[in-house]
Chains A and B, each alone.
Chain A
């Protein structure tokens, strides 16, 4: 039995009086692909932000590799964590004043202090990998949503993270471009990257995930391998949700 690389235990979080997470416990093994599904407002995105320390939690523990995320206080500690955990956002959030390639190169050069020449080579390779070799010098404003999202994935990969978090990365895309982004993620997952995805793409979850977690109202209702969860859900709430979306 290997120790999981991400472990959340009894995570609680509230914003003011509204409780967003009410005791979430789950773990992800190295190389594992976990999809978190559930209705809007279930706290899925918030959970991801807790894992890379963007949002501090009120109670419980989160461990990522050697980091006790809930105990990180200083910026320096959080930065050390974020070098190993990358996040891709729904709205891409590329830096609009930099070209696609510069977006990919920035963090490794300035955060990891790596040699710009090496970073450049790696960035070019990553851009090729996500199928955008010919868009290196384009600014984000000149790229389509799907292309921007693939640059964002390359940007995260350039940090050589241990874990990648995907926050509804296809939610803002049109159905055709969803596929190109999902293919990029699929490639990653097959390469053995640990991925935690918040997603509404049920087909994708079924095909690729090792485990699917269904959340509702700040709690995990049910979690199981995709074949089991999608075909034989145990909880009534899961059944109701799946009957709506499948």
Chain B
């Protein structure tokens, strides 16, 4: 007999746990690395060099121009962050309940959650964003009062939808990675299903959910620049405006790689921290 593993013989719980872990790992295994940052930096320096060489002596230096516009760009960046926080908060709360619905004992709830998750997880982010921008009204009338819905709220909602579906998958994976014997033990101590869920299963899930959740946040932050396409004043939009105001095409590479560096500087620490957490929890599990 060869020493080939016999997965069928593994206890079901262990098999489920492995499947869930593999799925989580492969589904969104995407981490920023220091080399990415170095490449960006090189790109930025080259961009500045090109701009300086082409600009001629009579124009202000590239570095001066960048510094001049940095406050404007930073304002746009703050907007990106605000959208990312909001979308993440909305997506996390909605996704948590959607993920819990995915393991409901009631088949219609389970099925509905499955359809919702798969729809929003597989639809392209940009498409969802456009749907939200175009299908939601620009104002609603409640009891005669007109409440405007600004574009950025619609954009935030558009980004929150795919976040919700991804969070739901993270939650479901984490719940199913808890051995079924924990449910059995809690059941036999006469806990209600709700108590088991909130007091025994979820507290154990938090650790396992944190790394993929943070990874999702980093992805979301980088995706917030999509809102520039639908006309929200984020860093990307500001950059376009600055460039058209300067009307110096040679600045293009310098400015866009500058924007990239900002996002890298924000997301890289998150990515590193995620990797560290993953390693730590992998050992302890």
Contact = CB atoms under 8 A, between A and B. Distances in A.
Interface of A: 52, 54, 75, 79-80, 82-83, 85-87, 89, 91, 93-97, 106-107, 110-111, 141, 155-156, 159
B203 A97 contact: yes
B192 A82 contact: no
Nearest to B202: A97
B195 A93 contact: no
A89 B191 contact: no
11 contacts: A54-B184, A54-B187, A75-B193, A82-B188, A83-B190, A86-B188, A89-B181, A95-B182, A97-B203, A97-B204, A107-B191
Contacts of A54: 184, 187-188
B192 A75 contact: yes
Interface string B51-88: 00000000000000000000000000000000000000
A95 B181 CA distance: 10
B19 interface: no
B1 interface: no
Given A93-B182, A93-B185, A111 B190 contact: yes
B190 A82 contact: yes
Contacts of B284: 141
Contacts of A159: 189-190
A82 B184 CA distance: 12
A205 to B, nearest CB: 23
Contacts of A97: 203-204
A83 B186 CA distance: 12
B200 A95 contact: yes
**Would you list the 10 A-B pairs with minimal beta carbon distance, nearest first?**
A93-B185, A82-B190, A107-B189, A87-B188, A79-B190, A111-B190, A83-B190, A93-B181, A97-B203, A97-B204
B188 A52 contact: yes
A111 B200 CA distance: 13
B184 A89 contact: yes
Interface in B196-251: 199-200, 203-204
Nearest to A91: B181
Contacts of B186: 95
A111 B199 CA distance: 12
B196 to A, nearest CB: 10
Contacts of B192: 75, 79
Nearest to B184: A54
A95 B282 CA distance: 18
A106 B199 contact: yes
Contacts of A93: 181-182, 184-185
Contacts of B187: 54, 82
Contacts of B190: 79-80, 82-83, 107, 111, 159
Contact of A111 (B181, B193, B195, B204): B195
A157 B264 CA distance: 56
Given A97-B203, A110-B195, A110-B199, A86 B185 contact: no
A93 B184 CA distance: 9
A97 B186 CA distance: 13
A107 B284 CA distance: 26
A156 to B, nearest CB: 8
Contact of B189 (A80, A86, A91, A96): A86
A111 B188 contact: no
Most buried by B among A52, A89, A96, A155: A96
Nearest to A84: B190
A110 B184 contact: no
Contacts of A110: 191, 195, 199
A143 B193 CA distance: 28
Given A52-B188, A107-B191, A156-B189, 10 more contacts: A79-B190, A80-B190, A91-B181, A93-B182, A93-B184, A97-B203, A97-B204, A106-B199, A110-B191, A111-B195
B11 to A, nearest CB: 9
B281 to A, nearest CB: 12
Contacts of A106: 189, 199
A156 B185 CA distance: 10
A76 to B, nearest CB: 8
A8 to B, nearest CB: 18
B112 to A, nearest CB: 22
A83 B191 CA distance: 9
Contacts of A83: 190
A51 to B, nearest CB: 10
A96 B181 CA distance: 12
A168 B188 CA distance: 16
Contacts of A75: 192-193
Nearest to A76: B192
B204 A82 contact: no
A123 B199 CA distance: 19
Given A95-B200, A96-B204, A97-B204, A111 B191 contact: yes
